Amino acid sequence: YSAYRAKLDEEKRAPKAIAKMVEADAETQAPKKKDNKKLSFKDKYELEQLEKDLPALGKERVEIEKALQDASLAYEEIERLSKRITEVVAELEEKELRWLELDELRG
C-alpha cells in the first residue's frame, strides 16, 4: 500500500513540477524591458561628431563618384580614387550604424 501511495503522490507532484518548469521557461524567454538609459557625456559628444562627419563623408563620396566618371583620368588616379571610395563607403556605413545605436539610446 505504501508503494501505491508514493506513486499517487508522485503523479500529483509531476504536473506541478511541469507547470513550474514551463513558467520558468516562459520567464527566461519573455522579452526583457528595454533599459531607459540616458546618453553619457561621451556618447552625446560622439553623436554630435557623427552628425558632423556623416554629411562630410557623403559629400566626399559624391565628389569621388563624379571624378570617377571622367573618362580622361589616368589609371593610377582611377585606382587611387577607387580605393578611397571603398574606404569612404566603409567608414560611412560604420558611422551610420553607430549613429543609429546612439540615436535609439537617445530616444
Domain that holds residue 90: 39-107
Give the angle subtended at the CA of 15 by the CAs of 14 and 17, to the nearest 5°.
65
Q: At 84, which CATH number?
A: 1.10.287
Same domain for 10 and 27, yes or no, is: yes
> Residue 34 above 60 pLDDT?
no
Rounded to whole angstroms, what are the CA distances from 33 to 25, 27, 36? 17, 12, 9
> Residue 35 above 90 pLDDT?
no
Domain count, the chain: 2
Per-chain mean pLDDT for the chain: 82
> Residue 5 above 80 pLDDT?
no
pLDDT at 30: 45
pLDDT at 15: 59
Same domain for 49 and 6, yes or no, is: no
pLDDT at 24: 55
Q: How confident is the model at residue 29 (pLDDT cuts 50, 70, 90)?
A: low
Q: Which residues contact 82 (CB under 8 A, 6 or more apart)?
A: 68
Same domain for 63 and 105, yes or no, is: yes
Same domain for 100 and 49, yes or no, is: yes
Closest CA to 83 of 68, 98, 105, 71: 68
pLDDT in tens, 59-71: 999 999 999 999 8
What are the E-state strand segments in the chain? none
pLDDT, mean of residues 7-30: 58
Same domain for 18 and 59, yes or no, is: no
Same domain for 66 and 93, yes or no, is: yes
